[in-house]
With several copies, the nearest count.
Chain A
Amino acid sequence: MTDELFLGLQTTLVGMGVTFLALSLLVAVSYLVAAAFRPRSTLEQQAAAAPGGPPVAVIAAAVLACLGQTDVRVTAVRRLEEAKAWRQSGRAAQMQARRSTLEKRWR
């Protein structure tokens, strides 16, 4: 009887302690997360909306190096054109590929 009561109270103390510890940590990280994202959130979204980005040049260069090509210019202008053509193609594709509208990418 006393043993059970002792184990019960002990477990209550430890259990509530760990639970409060864990959720207090979550309070702290939630504030950190909020602080990290709030001010920059609009900028972030703009960046996300922009097509291509930092890795583009690196990878394009690697591709070219890998093929031993050096005469192709990788410029910012080029990328913007691509993006434009991309949107056009997207629209055209949408109109035509009626049957493959569900073809989200798994392949």
Chain B
Amino acid sequence: MNWAQIGERLAEATGLNALTLGHGIMLGVACFLVYLAVVRRYEPLLLLPIAFGVLLANLPLAGLMEEGGLLFWLYQGVRLGIFPPLIFLGVGAMTDFGPLLANPKTFLLGAAAQFGIFMTFTGALLLGFTPAQASSIGIIGGADGPTAIFLTSRLAPELLGPIAIAAYSYMALVPIIQPPIMKALTTKAEREVVMEQLRPVGKGERVAFPIVVTVVTSVLLPPAAPLIGMLMLGNLFRESGVVERLTTTAQGELINIVTIFLAVTVGATASADRFLTVQTLSIIALGLVAFAFGTAAGVVLGKVMYLLTGGKVNPLIGSAGVSAVPMAARVVQIVGQEAKPGNFLLMHAMGPNVAGVIGSAVAAGVLLAMFGK
């Protein structure tokens, strides 16, 4: 090699010449997301690695997400639909479905709150998105990260970055988004309803529950099986009480490892050319619509239940049906206590809250059945 050749080689290799304004803006976006995660504490477990993934994907010439790059390999776990169900395995191992078993009617609140998904789907269609893309945008309203990532990786992987970012950001903003809607749609009398204590739930029920939920939902709607199946396997580990080692691993090291890989690579799908579009702004706006309509629909069904039960159901718990576990249930608790200090709605809200996880997975199954390949 002569000096000129070396100079050429280095000039080709350095990213300085390839640096574009787009890269610069995306690095700014990444820093903003780090700020939201670290300073504002918006879902840091997901948003911090997502932010760093955005940064890594926008380093010129580093090629980490190109075929053969480090993040490309790790991304296969998302692309093949492996990571989101594994995260649901851990979520299932963490989730107590007891409040739902104690009051199964609250399943319906978890169904109603999926309304935001389909309204947003319609809105996205009207804004010119394809049905597959609109489905992925609508699912933001499910307020379940793994479900959103699973569906989007199947229907519209090109939108994975903005959808995941919108989903986790709005989940973090649930305490700000929901209360005004909840109050606008309810009377003070409704918010003051004290609900009767939940019955205790036995071990037999707890063990049978994940099995029957898996069978019923998966037979009815097979595309929901990977998510529901793994969620319920994790829950069966938990409730069986005989495989503590596996429960601990599923909700501990396994979910942590998968979260790192999933979040970094989902963030890394947000390259400048894909992310810096009007579509991204639309997605962010539509995501807010999704959360708002989901909350509203949950509360409205809560009001219906209030009427049908002669005032035994506090309609606020309907808003927890969007899931965003356990944040949305805590919001119910707060808004309820504002209306009537000492009223304890948290456990009542946990029923629709965990039902919302199942509801969103079912909704994702419907969308996959209708618009999947």
Contact = CB atoms under 8 A, between A and B. Distances in A.
Interface in B158-193: 171, 173, 175-177, 179-181, 183-184
Interface stretch (B18-26, B118-126, B271-279): B118-126
A92 B255 CA distance: 27
A105 B173 contact: no
B296 to A, nearest CB: 7
B292 A63 contact: yes
B181 A24 contact: no
Contacts of B121: 8, 11-12, 15
A104 B292 contact: no
A66 B292 contact: yes
Contacts of B72: none
Nearest to A53: B40
Nearest to B207: A37
Contacts of B220: 18, 21-22, 25
Contacts of B212: 26, 29-30, 32-33
A25 B220 CA distance: 10
B45 A30 contact: no
A5 B346 contact: no
B330 A30 contact: no
Given A24-B107, A100-B326, A106-B146, A12 B362 contact: no
Nearest to A34: B205
B280 interface: no
A19 B121 CA distance: 15
Q: How large is the interface on B (under 10, 10 to 19, 20 to 34, 35 or more residues)?
A: 35 or more
Interface in B318-351: 323-327, 330, 333-334, 337-338, 344, 346-347, 350
Interface residues of A, number: 71
Interface string A20-55: 111111110111111011101100110110001101
A25 B165 CA distance: 32
A55 to B, nearest CB: 8
A85 B96 CA distance: 24
A69 to B, nearest CB: 5
Contact of A69 (B1, B184, B366): B184
Given A7-B1, A11-B370, A107-B325, A92 B346 contact: yes
Interface of B: 1, 3, 6, 10, 39-40, 43, 45-46, 87, 90-91, 94-96, 98, 100-101, 104-105, 107-108, 110-112, 114-115, 117-119, 121-123, 125-126, 131, 134, 143-146, 171, 173, 175-177, 179-181, 183-184, 201-205, 208-209, 212-213, 216-217, 220-221, 245, 251, 255, 259, 288-289, 292, 296, 323-327, 330, 333-334, 337-338, 344, 346-347, 350, 355, 357-359, 362-363, 366-367, 370
8 contacts: A12-B115, A12-B119, A18-B221, A26-B217, A37-B205, A82-B179, A86-B175, A88-B337
